[in-house]
Amino acid sequence: MAMATAGAVIAACILALLAPPPARAAGGGRCAGESFSANRAYAACNDLPRLGASMHWTYDRASGDLHVAFVAAPAAPGGWVAWALNPSGDGMAGAQALVAGPFPDGGGTWAVRTYNVSGYALGEPGPIAFPASDLAAELGADGRVRVFGTLGLGAAAVGGGGVLLNQVWQVGAAVSSGGVPAPHAMGADNLAAKAKLDLLRATTVAAGADSATRKRNIHGVLNAVSWGLLLPMGAIFARYLKTFRAADPAWFYLHVTCQLIGYGVGVSGWATGMKLGKESRGVTYTDHRNIGIAVFALGTLQVLALFLRPKKEHKFRVYWNTYHHSVGYAVIVLGVVNIFKGMSILGVEQRWRTAYIAAVCVLLVAAAALEAVTWGVVLRRRKADGKTFSSAPNGHLPHSVSV
């Protein structure tokens, strides 16, 4: 029952993580109540899915001009905000950016600079692919910055009359005395601050729904199910069911089945993570990556060790058991720790984090209950046999796992 409950919780997490987010229609939410200085008004607006930002625009199909207002709060007082269109991709490289900050050349007020971002560093300010005019920025009393401008898109720039554009946005915590924006944070919201902007339908759809974020979600689900659920379940089957003679050899097959399926799914999750790492140039989560490699390596050793398992009566079997137990528990602990690190990186909603914690707690409670029950069985059995624990062979606990 406990195992089924844990599985149901994880299954719900899987469905929620893989479900694509809906499109956001213009004119709804917080952005609809926004007002701007100088009687500026826009035909459409969206609350963007990350960083608490919003986008307002009017698109003139005849001239190809896009009049925009981007609203966001800097990561800290004195920081900066940025919004960009990217005609060549959905990330930072290739972005044609409007960056607003308290730059020295603004005379102490907020100013806007344009950046043609060619890589994974902002570079120097300069002209961008879309002619920019009417650039301005102002800091509101609510701590949010309003960035205004007009971009000359032209028919060619939007794909021969198409109006589905890649937009990215960002916030930073500081601007140096020389006017250089400090690098932004590498949190999940920062890395996922991108979306598709449909100028005619007036909607934004999170870009990650069909690209990098979806891949990260798949990576997280595979690892949560394998290292975070199947392997602990397999260990519970081996440690506790073995005590009951009627469960022999069923406990062994349950244990091996959970571990092999868990390892196979875990390898898929690990490989997905390594591929994501290669695709995310300039972004490295060192601890998460290193723990993942360690879990994969130790898990592989566990599988290979099955081919070197001595027979029960062999004198080296006790050493093999010690190795098997130690490495197995290390894989489980490191795996669960890394799952929580991955959740922090992904910015998983608290309700799903709570659901996973609940699943882990179900397994822990089941293990604690079975620990008490099996000790009771062993105590009665040894008492009936007239034995003491000091007579246990090889100094093992009476119901230690020996597989």
DSSP per-residue codes, 186-217: -SHHHHT-EEEEETTTTEEEEGGGGSHHHHHH
**d(Cα 222, Cα 353) in Å, to the nearest integer?**
15
Taking residue 39's Cβ as centre, other Cβ atoms within 10 Å add up to: 6
Give the residue from 60, 46, 110, 55 showing the smallest Cα distance to 84: 55
> In what side-by-side order are the strands of the sheet with 194-198?
24-25, 203-206, 194-198, 164-172, 80-85, 96-101, 111-116
- Is-contact 263 299, C-beta < 8 A? yes
**The dihedral sign for the CA sequence 172, 173, 176, 179:** positive
- Is-contact 305 321, C-beta < 8 A? no
Q: Is 219 annotated as a binding residue?
A: yes
Largest pairwise CA distance in the chain: 96
Q: Is 56 annotated as a binding residue?
A: no
Q: Is 288 annotated as a binding residue?
A: yes
Taking residue 350's Cβ as centre, other Cβ atoms within 10 Å add up to: 8
Q: Is 314 annotated as a binding residue?
A: no
Residues 6+ apart with CB under 8 A from 123: 115, 116, 117
The amino acid at 317: R
Taking residue 235's Cβ as centre, other Cβ atoms within 10 Å add up to: 22
Segment (H or E) for 154: helix 154-157
**Residues marked as binding for heme b?**
219, 255, 288, 324
**Residues marked as binding?**
219, 255, 288, 324
